[in-house]
Amino acid sequence: MTRTVLLTDYAWPDDKVEREVIERAGFVLISGPAEPLPSAEIDALAAEHRPHAILTCWAQVTERAIAASPNLKIVARLGVGLDNIAVDEATERGIWVTNVPDYCVAEVSDHAIGFAIAWARGLIHFDREVREGRWDPASANLRRLSELTCGIIGFGRIGRATAAKMQALGCRVVAHDPHASNVPADVELADFDMLLARSDIVIVHAPLSPATRHLINKDAISKMRRGSLLINVSRGGVVDTAAVIEGLASGILSGVGLDVLEDEPRVPQELLAHAGAMITPHVAFSSDASLIELRRRAAEEVVRVLSGEMPEQPRNSPRR
């Protein structure tokens, strides 16, 4: 029987890397469109092709899509977060769920550092000013990074990489993560409220889950230092956009660096209009090297499972 792999969507120009890995193993790759379809259409694709494996980037792999795929052995995420996959349903049906948790550690931490430097040195602000015909160095209100404290929420692989880079710039680093272990001696663990109160820069590296949705909300922002910077390079839903807009308006936040938004790609006009808002279109994970690694490793997990082997990066324990 020919085994079929459904690639629901992809955030790059083509499916060449995935196709090469899948077809070299003797399987058939069926690709959906690059832009993710609505979940009902993904459900329909699953029902039509009854895949043995699903590779997904941003598209929702729902309980219905999984139930419509009786041959399914694995749902492999082309990324880190699993909030677009019905993991519990897959587990109940004996289906592996995998991701590639460490492919973009360097890129995401670099992106966070870039936001911090741009804010401290006024890079984006003054670039905008000069382009609009204003040359006013006397207006500079810049910061020395080595005198600042950086709070990191979520101290996994990426949080630790960000901490090391901020320390290399001279920053003091505090971290909050209920699950952290083996924390370096030069990083102080703090509870959530203490981190907010002590940090000039707050960087969010937390995954999206029911417990972390709107973790950064109006109450949390009210506890931050006046004039501080908030950076989110994790998931949009971890941060309440309305609360951020209010925080900018009140001056509690002097700036934000947002690579993700909870309703992306829609960007509220209040953010677009604010001089302190730095916004990038969910690209923190991206580089030539990281994308090739991501695509290859996710496809190799599919080949591994369809060949009867254990996955290298399981995120569940399927019932057998």
Catalytic residue at 49? no
Q: Where are the beta strands (DSSP E) in the chain?
A: 4-7, 28-31, 53-56, 74-77, 96-98, 149-153, 172-176, 188-189, 201-204, 228-232, 253-258, 277-279
Cα–Cα distance, 238 to 225 (Å, whole number): 20
Which of 52, 57, 61 lies closest to 27 in space, CA to CA?
A: 52
Catalytic residue among 225, 282, 297, 304: 282
DSSP secondary structure letter of residue 170: T
Cα–Cα distance, 245 to 231 (Å, whole number): 14
- Structure tokens that stand for 270 in this block: 């209040």
- Structure tokens that stand for 176 in this block: 């909050």
Catalytic residue among 41, 188, 264, 270: 264
- Please give the C-alpha separations between residue 229 and each of 21, 38, 108, 226, in angstroms, as whole numbers: 42, 35, 17, 9
- Please give the C-alpha separations between residue 89 and each of 6, 12, 34, 65, in angstroms, as whole numbers: 18, 28, 25, 10
Catalytic residue at 264? yes
Catalytic residue among 52, 235, 274, 315: 235
DSSP secondary structure letter of residue 20: H
CB 61 within 8 A of CB 9: no
Catalytic residue at 312? no
Residues marked active site are found at 235, 264, 282
